[in-house]
Amino acid sequence: MPILKKTSPKTRIIPLGGLGEIGKNITVFESENDIIIVDCGITFPDENMPGIDAVIPDFTYLENNFSKIRGIFVTHGHEDHIGALPYLLKKINVPIYSTKFTIALIKRKLEEEEMADVAQLEEVHYGDIVIKGDFAVEFIRTNHSISDSCAFAIMTPSGVVIHTGDFKVDYTPIDNAPIDLMRLAELGENGVLLLMSDSTNAERKGFTMSERTVGATFDDLFSKITGRIIIATFSSNIHRVQQIIDIAAKFGRKCAICGRSMVNVVEVAVEIGYIKHAEDTIIDIEDVNDYNDNEIVIITTGSQGEPMSALTRMASATHNQVEVSRNDTIIISASPIPGNEKAIARMIDELFKRGANVIYKALADVHVSGHACEEELKLILSITRPRYFMPVHGEYRHLVAHAGIAKRLGMSPDDIFIMGNGNVLEFRGPDLVIREEQVESGNVLIDGLGVGDVGNLVLRDRKHLAADGLVVISLAVSDKDGSILKGPDIVSRGFAYSHETENVLTQIADVAVEAYNFQLAQSRERSRSDLNLKRTAIKDSVRAFIFENTKQNPMIIPVIMEVGAAPEPDVPEDAFAEIDS
């Protein structure tokens, strides 16, 4: 690697996402003068985020240090590594560097966001070195469940840092290009200051199986299945898609691509030559009914049971082109992402109810992970021989398990750092300086077109509504003396009351009137009127009454409208004389 002019011996490494969680990966490397960013991904909302579409990192630290940022380096094209790029580029426009397939996916994503002209996308090849200020980044080939994944060897003012990205050690990958262990070992010989290594599968013993084992399983299944085959897998795993296409052709079947993300990724992969097929192998999904069942394979999204995905819509009989029948075999070629287990189980149940035969990982080797298991993690630690080690990319237990692997290989616990998002690891030259500093980090919630508009209070209200429902109490009162002119009207949504408490809603009106009149009398004594006090009085009284009678706690919203008295009509005294006569 090149010898860089060390304008400062200080290097700071700041993870803004990806630690203690799955997804939202982003790491900042900072010198006195420059910043580079590694990855910029999203994560998906959990059950405590009702209504949220996606979660992105907090970019406050990057916005505050915009003048120092020299570029973004992306390890691979999964959403948890590229999904937040459009949001960051709206705030900070800097060049993006990555490999061919990753750049193609980023370009397609930016085109969908009508940002194609915003970013400077730079394609880099394995072995290339990109120099940006105080940093030089070398791209090293790795294997993962997506093409063109890479690790980075980052020359910093303090020494070499290796960031593995997501990886596994596959000696027989589909593209015949295994991980470059030789280069990693060479870096280890020359001295590695810090290793930052993928921890997703740190709890799993042994080795991760090669992607080719899935192809062998598919081949065996295709030879036995006589009806239509529907395979759900991750859209980004184009090596698996290629295997499916090849095996389908071998058995005389046509392939139809289904699902928006699957169509987009396959189109990109075909355009750049990463998926190859005979001209008549792939057909339009709308034409599947023109063929016999034994002539068709459908490759679809929905392996995670996403509510609007193609396979989930097939399971619920709401898909426009595909109706699942007893002659279908469904193969789910993926493992559940943590948190998706229940959704996947429900979808599988619905597919079975429709008479389909469903094959998933528990029944056959139809999926292999893209992440390294314990023995592969040991291998990387052993050949790079870092002075310091930081496990990355995983929930906290994964980081702890990976740290345990390093300890068993002889690393001192004092040289292993389990970090959190926003923590700062600082080096002065090759020596570590522990910083108590915590930079601003966390979750920014995406709700439709809103970015960061939903906070803890909104989430709390949504969870309250989901759990207990809503009761609205509306009153029209005089703007002169405060007396009730109309109401109260009671409207409830999602508030369940039983036969024993069916009169509760009727009684709520009396409770609200009593609370309002009591507060009205109090305000008259004070010679001042405060609508907020009246609303609070109604809310507190009604909440207490409902809980006492139903043991439920719906959200209470009092609405008090002050109105003037209706004007007397301007009608002549004899206007009704003719009618009276």
The one catalytic residue in 39, 58, 166, 198 is 198
pLDDT tens-place values along the chain, 581 residues long: 554 554 447 899 999 999 999 889 999 999 999 999 999 999 877 666 666 677 889 999 999 999 999 999 999 999 999 999 999 999 999 999 999 999 999 999 999 888 878 789 999 999 999 999 999 999 999 999 999 999 999 999 999 999 999 999 999 999 999 999 999 999 999 999 999 999 999 999 999 999 999 999 999 999 999 999 999 999 999 999 999 999 999 999 999 999 999 999 999 999 999 999 988 899 999 999 999 999 999 999 999 988 889 999 999 999 999 999 999 999 999 988 777 888 899 999 999 999 999 998 766 778 899 999 999 999 999 999 999 999 999 999 999 999 999 999 999 999 999 999 999 999 988 888 777 788 998 888 776 665 655 556 666 666 667 777 888 888 888 877 778 888 788 887 777 666 655 677 778 888 888 888 888 777 776 655 677 888 888 888 888 888 888 778 888 888 888 887 554 445 444 544 443 43
- pLDDT of amino acid 578: 43
What tokens appear for 116 in the block? 């194609």
Residue 198 is among the residues annotated as catalytic for this protein = yes
Whole-number pLDDT of residue 148: 96
pLDDT for position 448: 62
Q: Which amino acid is at 543?
A: R
Longest Cα–Cα distance of the chain, Å, equals: 115
pLDDT of residue 579: 37
Residue 376 pLDDT: 97
Q: Is 371 a catalytic residue?
A: yes
Alpha-carbon dihedral sign for residues 236, 240, 243, 249: negative
Per DSSP, 5 falls in state P
- For strands 386-392 and 192-198, give the pairing: parallel
pTM given for the model: 0.82
Return the number of other C-beta atoms located less than 10 Å from residue 292's C-beta: 10
DSSP letter for 289, please: G
311 φ/ψ angles, rounded to the nearest 5 degrees: -65, -40
Percent helix, percent strand, percent coil in the chain, to nearest 5: 35, 25, 40
- Ordered by where they begin, the domains of the chain are 10-206+369-451 (3.60.15.10), 212-359 (3.40.50.10710), 469-563 (3.10.20.580)
Active-site residue, selected from the candidate residues 144, 367, 371, 402: 371
CA pseudo-torsion sign 391, 394, 399, 402:
negative
